[in-house]
Structure 1
Amino acid sequence: MKERLVLDVSHLPLHGSGTASPTWWGTLAFMLIEGTGFALGIVVYLYLMSIAGAWPINAPAPDLLPGTLLTALLAVSVIPNVLVAGWAKRRELKKVRIGLIVMALFGIAPLLLRIFEFPAMHVMWDTNAYGSITWVLLGLHTTHILTDLIDTLVLMCLMFTRHADNPRRYGDVEDNAMYWNFVVITWVPLYLCLYWMPRL
């Protein structure tokens, strides 16, 4: 049987970024699954609030300061995050390295603020249904911040080694930036539920 060349793809790059990368699609699917988890948590929160005689249950409304500071910090972090994604797209190694260091610091700072958020709820996780769902929502978001921080630290270390020459790493940095935007966006409805719903 004679083989016929249909299309020569030898000139194409070995790795793609953005929608051309399977990793991008995997990250997107991951965010959809986790976003569904957040949505279910918020639905449980609203359901418990609807059947409770008073909300919060046997506790004052949470202190606004820690959560509001964290919200402001996350909002500011979007600026360097967008810059890092752009630098990775243009493969500007020095800027990507600096940007990843900055984003690692922006990953650590919310975890430090989160230490003050749990006491600001004025309820323990095992006190009642209000305490349980509040701690679950804060815990879920904390897990996502920690997950992105670990990913950022790994990428930061890789970009200071010979692996930085691999074009795939720049795609990984772009995907990590996309995930951080997801972490920031998901916090907005959680912040409204946790801090402002009890004040209605």
Structure 2
Amino acid sequence: MKEKVVLDLSHLPLHATGTASLTFWGTSAFMLIEGSGFALAIAVYLYLMANAPSWPLNAPPPDLLPGTILTVLLLASLVPNLLVTRWAGQRDLRKVRIGLVIMSIFGIVPLVPRIFEFPALNIRWDDNAYGSILWVMLGLHTTHILTDLADTLVLTCLMFSRHGDNLRRYGDVEDNALYWNFVVATWLPLYGCIYWIPRL
């Protein structure tokens, strides 16, 4: 039996970026799953609040300063993150390297106010349900900052190596920047729940 080639795909590139990349769709699915986790945590928070005689339970509202500092830092990080995405799309290796170093710093610096956020909640995780859900929400988001920080540090090292200047790495940088946008976006409703709902 004679075989017939239906379509020759040998000319296609081995890697792609954006929506043509499997990594993009994997990152998007990951964000969907993790976003559902954040939504569930917020739903638990609101459920507990709706069934509590007073809110917050047996504690003053959390101190605003550490959480607000962290929020400002995260929002400020969106500017270099957007630039890194643009530079990766332009395949500008020098600028991508600079941008990744800056984003590595923006991944480390928010962890400082985050350390002070836990005591600023004014309640321990095991005091009651209110304390537990606050600590879970902060813990979840801290895990996401650490996850993206680790990815950014690895990518920074790769971009400074001989493996940096190729299409696949630029696609990885774009996907990492997309995930950081997710980390910032998920913090905003958490910030509102933790710091402002108890003050309403």
Matches of 1:105 and 1:87 in 2, distance apart?
Answer: 18
What is residue 21 of structure 1 aligned with on the other side? 21
Name 1:129's counterpart in structure 2.
129
Task: In structure 2, list runs of 5 or more residues that go unmatched.
Answer: none
**Where does structure 1 lack aligned partners over 5 or more consecutive residues?**
none
Corresponding residue SS for 1:62: coil
Q: 1:146 Cα deviation (Å)?
A: 0.3
Please give the per-residue CA displacement for 1:146-185, whole angstroms capped at 9, x wherever unaligned: 0000000000001111111332111000000000000000
Q: Distance in 2 between matches of 1:20 and 1:27?
A: 13
1:12-161 alignment, distance < 5 Å: 12-161=12-161
Q: Kindly indicate whether residue 184 of structure 2 is the aligned counterpart of residue 179 of structure 1.
A: no
Partners of 1:41 and 1:6 lie apart in 2 by 50
1:59-112 C-alpha deviation (Å, 9 max, x unpaired): 111111111111111111001001101111111100000000000000001111
Structure 1-normalised TM-score? Answer: 0.97
**Which ranges of 4 or more aligned residues in structure 1 deviate by more than 6 Å?**
none
For residues 127 and 165 of structure 2, the distance between their equivalents in structure 1, rounded to whole angstroms, comes to 53
Q: What's the CA shift string for 1:96-152, capped at 9, x where partnerless?
A: 000000000000011111011111110010111111000000000000000000000
- How many equivalent residue pairs? 200
- Give the residue type in structure 1 aligned to 2:123: V
Secondary structure of the residue aligned to 2:109 is: helix
Q: TM-score, normalised by structure 2?
A: 0.97
Q: Distance in 2 between matches of 1:165 and 1:52?
A: 56
RMSD over aligned CA atoms reads 0.9
Question: Percent identical across equivalent pairs?
Answer: 73
What is the deviation of 1:7? 2.5
Report the CA distance between 1:4 and its aligned residue: 2.9
